[in-house]
Amino acid sequence: MAYWDINKILVEEERVPCLFTVDAQDLGHLDSKSRPKDLPAGSKVDLPLWMAQGLAEKNMVELQVPRHFGSRMRDEIMAGD
């Protein structure tokens, strides 16, 4: 019997802002504002964490800090330690 950890599932669905460092062929569907079927290098797209991690490992994207995780949020998290 498999154990499904709801926290892990939710974290993996968290969307992370990414900057494509290469031209991504046939991935235009990832950007709802994009018409072409390819994403050019420099495109900014919010991707699910599981996908962003895989593309980052292949040096296709640079992960960026999510907007809601700014310095104020980091200070609040650090204050809780």
| Per-residue pLDDT band at 1 (split at 50, 70, 90) | very low
Give the residue-averaged pLDDT of 29-49.
81
User: What pLDDT does residue 31 have?
Assistant: 75
pLDDT in tens, 6-38: 667 666 677 888 999 998 887 777 777 767 788
| Domains along the sequence of the chain with CATH | 14-79 (3.40.5)
Query: What is d(CA 50, CA 63) in angstroms, rounded to the nearest whole number?
Result: 12
CB contact set of 54 (below 8 Å; sequence gap of 6+) = none
The SS3 assignment for 46 reads: strand
8-27 b/e (C-beta count within 10 Å ≥ 16 → b): eeeeeeeebbbebeeebeeb
Q: Which residue did the predictor score with more confidence, 70 or 51?
A: 51
